[in-house]
Amino acid sequence: MKRRKILVGNWKCHKSFDEAITLIAEIVANVPLELDRTVVLCPPFPYLAEAVRRTRESPVKIGAQNVWQEDSGAFTGEVSAPMLASLGVEYAIVGHSERRQFFLESDECLARKVARALAWNLTPIFCLGERWEDREAGQTLAVVQRQFQAVFALSAETTTSLVIAYEPVWAIGTGRNATPEQAEEVHAILRGLAMERWGSAVGEAIRILYGGSVKASNIDTLMAMPNLDGALIGGASLSAAEFLRIVHFQG
C-alpha cells in the first residue's frame, strides 16, 4: 500500500518570533503545491496563529508541540485541542519523550490527549520509543508495545487519522540515529500491533514516522524502508536548507 509520507519539523523551544517567521517564509517558498508528501511545521505555541496565516496559500501544514487533555477549565498555562482547532492548526505532537521525561506525562494522560485531539479533528502525532537501557536489556519491544497500548481504547474509525512517531530516546538530539534496519524492525512490529488491534485496513493505512537525529545525510536510506512513512525532525528542522533537503528526499 502506498502511504503518503509526512515530514514534520519539531522546533521545540527554539527561535524568536522574527526568526520563526523567516524560517516559515523560506520553507513555504520551496514547497511546491504539487509535492507528493505532507510537510508539517510545529513552532512554539505563541507563533501558531501567525504560522497558520503565513502558510494558508501553501501546502505546508501547522502543528502544535503539545495539547492539553481537557477541552477547557482551570488549567493555568495549558492550551486545549479546541483552541488549536480554532486557529486552523491541523496536527498536534503528543507524548514526545521530552514531555514524558520532564513533565512526567503518563500513558493515561497521553491517551486522553490523543482522544481530545482526534475529537477536534487534529491529527495526533503520538510519540513512543525506548531508552538506551531498555534496548540494552532487550526490552525495546515490550516498552513500545506498552506505550502503544495506551491508545488501544480508540475505535478503528477514529484511528484512521492517527500518526505514530517511533523515536528511540537514545537517538533524539544525539547525532546517533537508529539504523534504517533498527527502525524498520520496530515499525513493522508497530504496524502488526495496529493490525491486530484495529484490523488490516487500519494497520495498512496508519502512518508510522521515524524520529531521532534525522538529517539530510540519512533521510534517503531511512525513507527507503517499507514501513517508514515519514520523519519527525528536531534539530535539523531549524535550518531551512537542511529541512528542505530532508523534505525533498530521494524516493
C-alpha cell at 228: 517508514
Catalytic site includes residue 96: yes
Query: Which listed range, 44-52, 54-62, 194-202, 208-216, lies at the site for ligand PGA (CB under 6 A)?
Result: 208-216
Closest CB to ligand PGA among 203 and 234?
234
Q: Is 191 helix (H, G, I), strand (E, B) or coil?
A: helix
Closest to 164 (Cα-Cα) out of 123, 132, 131, 195: 123
- The 41-80 site mask, x for binding ligand PGA (CB under 6 A), equals ----------------------------------------
**Residues pairing with 94 in the sheet:** 126
Closest CB to ligand PGA among 31 and 233?
233
Catalytic site includes residue 108: no
Alpha helices per DSSP H over 120-239: 132-136, 140-149, 156-159, 180-198, 200-205, 219-223
Closest to 178 (Cα-Cα) out of 188, 165, 187, 168: 168
CB 67 within 8 A of CB 42: no
CB 75 within 8 A of CB 109: no
Tell which positions 150-189 bind ligand PGA, by CB under 6 A. Answer: 167, 172-173
Q: Which of 9, 129, 211, 230 binds ligand PGA (CB under 6 A)?
A: 211
**Size of site (CB under 6 A) for ligand PGA:** 13
Closest CB to ligand PGA among 44 and 203?
44
Query: Residue type for 53, please?
Result: R
Closest CB 127 distance from ligand PGA, rounded Å: 7
* Catalytic choice (90, 98, 167, 242): 167
* Catalytic choice (96, 105, 184, 187): 96
Question: CA 136: distance to chain centroid?
Answer: 25
Active-site amino acid positions: 96, 167
Interface with ligand PGA by CB under 6 A: which residues? 10, 167, 172-173, 211-214, 232-236
